[in-house]
Structure 1
Amino acid sequence: MTDRKTELAANLALVEERIASACAAAGRERAEVTLIVVTKTYPASDVRLLHELGVRHVAENRDQDAAPKAAACADLSLTWHFVGQLQTNKVRSVAGYADVVQSVDRLRLVSSLSAAAVRAEREIGCLIQVALDAGSGERGERGGVAPDGVGELAAALAAAPGLRLGGLMTVAPLAGPYAGRQQAAFERLMEFASRLRADHPAANMVSAGMSADLEDAVKAGATHVRVGTAVLGVRPRLG
């Protein structure tokens, strides 16, 4: 193996061990949690190596980086997740490669994504990003809709052509009552997820947890964890 592939394999093994241990501690099956590797700022060559090592879910947060990378890896069997704040002027591009958009947080984005998905003749899975630091009617500092806006967005997504309501996503907040309390934040998200499934039983995906707090997310019940640094290394500074 190349030095980079050896490095990625070792890092993946450590992350896999962490997820497996967290599942065991929580009384969950390892198969209940899907690892999404966040490849932002890293090249398509790393995505190819990750695929060789068995990774099937990758995530990006900037369309200008993701679109060429997805095109360069179009021959691989990968599920591409878009996890960044999505501007409506980028929707048409994102709809061309993203299998899942995890950051839906406003009605205008639902209508734009729906139109783009229909145009591209694709079905896109959508997660509602919940901002646990946002008050009623506000958006979170890192994107996301306030908890009381989830129901309206869910109804819009469920009715939108070309889109499939998949569940909820959150990023552990840096401010507000859940700042520094990842476990409590993820448990709160699970409460919202349970309410969502009461109205939309198929919306059973809960994306939470990153390199530093994936154990908290698994313990709370997350179905997907988004891990970048722990697999790929410390990110280069963006100029």
Structure 2
Amino acid sequence: MVERFQHIQSQIRHATGIASRPRGSVQLLAVSKTKPASDIAALYRLGQRHFAENYLQEALLKQQQLAAFNITWHFIGPIQSNKTKPLASHFDWVHSVDRLKIAQRLSEQRPDYLPPLNICLQVNISEESSKSGVSIGKLPDLVAAVSALPRIRLRGVMAIPEPESNYAKQRQPYRQLYLAVQQLNRPELDSFSFGMSGDLKAAIMEGASMVRVGTALFGKRL
């Protein structure tokens, strides 16, 4: 795990340098779905602090097991309306908000004793029928509506483009979405949850502030 962690960090630093961006401007999110709490603890001891989960019940169990660790928890999976309360109560970030109803419920259910919940809007940038997310054309209206809600803080967008092996083609959807957000003229939207291990460099070149990496960090589950 040490070598994998160092390799991913090196990749991020290299891509950040090529993009002429400040060192440290890209946050690594360790995607720990299906991985045991012991793996998360091991990576935490190496210095990783941000962990992302896809499945709510699995995440809540790990949070109990790792309560002694100062982890920043991100949720990146699909959201059902009846699961918003625990999301609002137990996470620091939610990346997969794709409609106003979900944002409203998270806002209403975020406890007063916690800081506002950081959220990203998931955009279906490749317009795939199998994926969740708002269309890029409807993004401005959703941003305006969600920004007005209390107890949450709209930070930016998340995207999972259609898989592509060609580097130039990997960059295109991220560039399109980044530019669309810039055109909204909302400086508070400073977070771009772009890229995984297969397109990490392309995502960073096009403005990613957070990259989501799982198997390349933890290894394949036996």
| TM-score band w.r.t. shorter chain | over 0.9
The alpha carbon displacement at 1:44 in A equals: 0.9
Aligned residues: 220
Mapping of 1:60-209 within 5 angstroms?
A: 60-118=53-111, 121-134=114-127, 140-174=129-163, 181-196=169-184, 198=185, 200-209=186-195
Paired with 1:79 and 1:201, the residues of 2 have a C-alpha distance of 23
SS in structure 1 of the partner of residue 6 of structure 2: helix
Q: Which runs of 5 or more structure 2 residues have no equivalent in the other structure?
A: none
Query: Is contact 1:110-1:156 (8 Å) kept?
Result: no
TM-score (norm 2): 0.92
Paired with 2:74 and 2:204, the residues of 1 have a C-alpha distance of 19
CA RMSD of aligned residues (A): 2.0
Query: CA 1:9/1:220 → structure 2, altered by over 3 Å: closer, same or farther?
Result: same
Residue deviations 1:5-60, cap 9 Å, x none?
xxx11100010111111111111222111111000000111111111110011000
Aligned-pair identity in percent equals 35
The alpha carbon displacement at 1:115 in A equals: 1.3
Paired with 1:28 and 1:120, the residues of 2 have a C-alpha distance of 36
Q: Which runs of 5 or more structure 1 residues have no equivalent in the other structure?
A: 1-7
The one-letter code matched in structure 2 to 1:62 is Y
Query: Is contact 1:82-1:100 (8 Å) kept?
Result: yes
SS in structure 1 of the partner of residue 183 of structure 2: helix
The one-letter code matched in structure 2 to 1:151 is P
Query: Is contact 1:127-1:169 (8 Å) kept?
Result: yes
Q: Which of 222, 226, 229 is the equivalent residue of 2:212?
A: 226
The alpha carbon displacement at 1:160 in A equals: 1.1
Query: CA 1:64/1:99 → structure 2, altered by over 3 Å: closer, same or farther?
Result: same
SS in structure 1 of the partner of residue 89 of structure 2: coil
The one-letter code matched in structure 1 to 2:56 is D
TM-score (norm 1): 0.86
Residue deviations 1:186-228, cap 9 Å, x none?
11121122123x0x22110011000111011011111110111
Paired with 2:96 and 2:85, the residues of 1 have a C-alpha distance of 15
Query: Is contact 2:117-2:151 (8 Å) kept?
Result: yes
Paired with 1:99 and 1:37, the residues of 2 have a C-alpha distance of 14
Q: Runs of at least 4 residues of structure 1 off by over 3 A?
A: 118-122
Q: Which has the higher contact order (CA 8 A, sep 6+)?
A: 2
Q: Which residue of 2 aligns with 1:4?
A: none
